[in-house]
């Protein structure tokens, strides 16, 4: 409990304009979003995207908290039309705190916790782009031992010495 897990989502868009881009992330039960931990990294991205998107949360720790990310400044995300697919991707990271919750407690075996993501934008064809990524973690198990041994020349209490 108390560990922080970082989830990274790579967002690859088609070249041109992508209006009303939003990303929904659902954390696994027992993890909670760390406020102000979101980050947009545009290294290698040829275009314009909101690097400080609006982030809100809903849901519960027991069933999985949802993080809604709205890239609204500017309202339209733009990818340079250069026929180069290698520069159409930016990354979005969030941190989640492993809470003291029944979903996480009393296990010594590794657990796999998946984050589910869904990307949506105006004008897309078909259903939302979805993905799930798992991270493994284990609860810390501490082992302690103590021992005591008498020092030399101790006197017994309660016995008379003659």
Domains in the chain with CATH codes: 4-137 (2.60.40)
Task: Give yes or no for a contact between 21 and 78, defined as CB atoms under 8 angstroms apart.
Answer: no
> Which pLDDT tens digit goes with each residue over 20-67?
999 999 998 888 999 999 999 999 999 999 999 999 999 988 888 999
Q: What is the pTM of this model?
A: 0.76
Task: Give yes or no for a contact between 115 and 133, defined as CB atoms under 8 angstroms apart.
Answer: yes
Q: Which residue has the higher pLDDT, 112 or 56?
A: 56
C-beta neighbour count of 104 within 10 angstroms: 20
Distance CA 140, CA 38 (A): 26
């Amino acid at each position: 409990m108390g560990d922080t897990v970082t989830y990274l989502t790579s967002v690859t868009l088609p070249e041109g304009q992508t209006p009303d881009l939003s990303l929904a992330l659902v954390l696994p039960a027992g993890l909670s979003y760390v406020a102000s931990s979101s980050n947009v990294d545009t290294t290698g991205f040829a275009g314009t995207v909101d690097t400080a998107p609006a982030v809100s949360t809903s849901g519960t720790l027991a069933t999985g908290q949802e993080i809604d990310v709205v890239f609204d400044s500017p309202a339209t995300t733009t990818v340079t039309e250069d026929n180069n697919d290698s520069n159409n991707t930016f990354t979005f990271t969030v941190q989640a705190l492993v809470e003291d919750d029944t979903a996480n407690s009393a296990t010594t075996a590794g657990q796999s916790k998946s984050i589910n993501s869904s990307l949506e934008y105006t004008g897309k064809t078909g259903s939302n782009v979805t993905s799930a990524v798992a991270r493994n973690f284990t609860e810390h198990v501490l082992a302690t031992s103590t021992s005591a041994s008498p020092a030399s020349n101790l006197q017994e209490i309660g016995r008379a010495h003659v």
